Amino acid sequence: MALRSIVYRGSELKIINQLLLPGELKYEDIRTTEDAFKAIKEMQIRGAPAIAILAMLSIAVESKDLNVLIDREKLRRLSKLDYLHYLKSQTDYLCSSRPTAVNIRNESDKLIKFYDQLIDHTEIELEQSVDMLIKEIEKLPEQDLNLNKSIGKHGADAIIDYWASKDASVQQFNVLTICNTGSLATCGYGTALGIVRRLNELDKLKCCYATETRPYNQGSRLTAYELSNEKINSKLICDNMVASLMKKETIHAVVVGADRLVMNGDFANKIGTYQLAVLSKNFNVPFYVACPLSTIDTVKQHGDEIVIEQRPSYEMRFIGSTRIAPDEIECWNPAFDVVDCELTTLIITEVGSIPTNSVTQLVSKHLTNI
């Protein structure tokens, strides 16, 4: 059974502390937006969809606490404009936790737009308006789970159709992935790993190869944990083994996630994704990026505009508490790299699969409200 990275029950919000996996499965309480910011910043939770949902749910939990902590007399003296100011301030704060992923900003903008529309309705009191906002936020986990399953279906169909047209004798597929894009990165199914799950459900998966994903090891710590937990046939490889693997074994597809997809089809994902795309091109392996529509940045036109988060040097100098590099060596530790659009075979979203040159049309059709 897929893990749930986020557990939300009314005023109770918990996350799996992913820093402790695979050794310990522990849930941490999130009571405030400050708790959420810290959890996202310190990577107790990661994955573009998951961090956006956690950020929004932390606002819901904090808003419920406001309704409890502020007495009704004082609550009536506040205005909806006061709450809107709070909402904008807290979403800006949460967006600063991880600059590369766009999902938090996109979800924040939708939330602010929703609440802003309530301002002019004088018949709606502050307390009722906050309750309406909370109910809107509470829809997000189930929405994420459903759209992830749609991504899984569209991605699996794309791989099956590709090989049906190329070599119909191929009935099961070796798939390669990087980082963690499964239930731990979402609300319970996954984007790129959701495609792997769907292939496995259809008995179409031969083996899922997962890269360890240095230096934070999301592949070895998290993806390997998920695959083992669900008994999906899989193998873990080091990042520098990909070329040898593609030379030795037939890899039928590479599936990866994205933290930000821009209008020309370029996208940012975990560092190491770019080299997978280059190698896929060299070995004629179809390369798919799986991401929800909330990952699309409708403002940025080109991958060069994406701000890449720089991580601290200790992540490279240590594995756990074991030093593997001297303090004297300078470290360059970008968390993400950018894949050029021409290296991608298809973009897989919850509304279907599209070529990379169709992002503008996709936005026009589905994201005109953002």
**Amino acid 75: pLDDT:** 54
Which amino acid, one-letter code, is at 48?
Answer: A
Written as six digits, the tokens of 260 are 């930000």
Among 48, 232, 266, 254, residue whose Cα is nearest residue 147: 48
All structural domains of the chain, each given as residue ranges with its CATH number in brackets, are 6-138 (1.20.120.420), 151-366 (3.40.50.10470)
Tell me which residue has tokens 């990087």.
178
**Amino acid 101: pLDDT:** 79
**Amino acid 69: pLDDT:** 47
Characterize the bridge pairing of strands 346-349 and 287-290.
parallel
Catalytic residue positions, numbered = 259
**Could you give the 3-state DSSP secondary structure of residue 242?**
helix
Write the CA distances from 128 to 13, 66, 109, 125, 218, integer angstroms. 22, 13, 21, 5, 41
The sign one gets for the Cα dihedral 229, 237, 276, 243 is negative
What is the DSSP annotation of 173-206? EEEEE-S--STTTSSSS-SHHHHHHHHHHTT-EE
Distance separating the N- and C-terminal Cα atoms of the chain: 34
d(CA 309, CA 333): 9
Cβ–Cβ under 8 Å, residues 44 and 18: yes
User: Prior bond to 312 cis, omega within 30?
Assistant: no
**Amino acid 127: pLDDT:** 87
d(CA 48, CA 300): 17
Write the CA distances from 96 to 29, 106, 108, integer angstroms. 21, 13, 12
Q: What angle do CA 89, 52, 136 make, to 5 degrees?
A: 80
pTM (two decimals): 0.92
Cβ–Cβ under 8 Å, residues 181 and 190: yes
Strands in 135-266 per DSSP E: 173-177, 205-211, 234-237, 253-256, 260-261
pLDDT along the chain (370 residues), means of 10: 85 95 96 96 94 96 71 63 93 93 92 94 90 96 96 98 97 98 94 98 98 96 96 98 98 97 97 98 98 95 96 92 95 97 98 96 81
pLDDT in tens, 208-266: 999 999 999 999 999 999 999 999 999 999 999 999 999 999 999 999 999 999 999 99
Mention every residue, 6+ apart, whose C-beta is less than 8 A from residue 172: 203, 204, 205, 206
Among 343, 275, 273, 288, residue whose Cα is nearest residue 173: 288
Written as six digits, the tokens of 294 are 């909330």
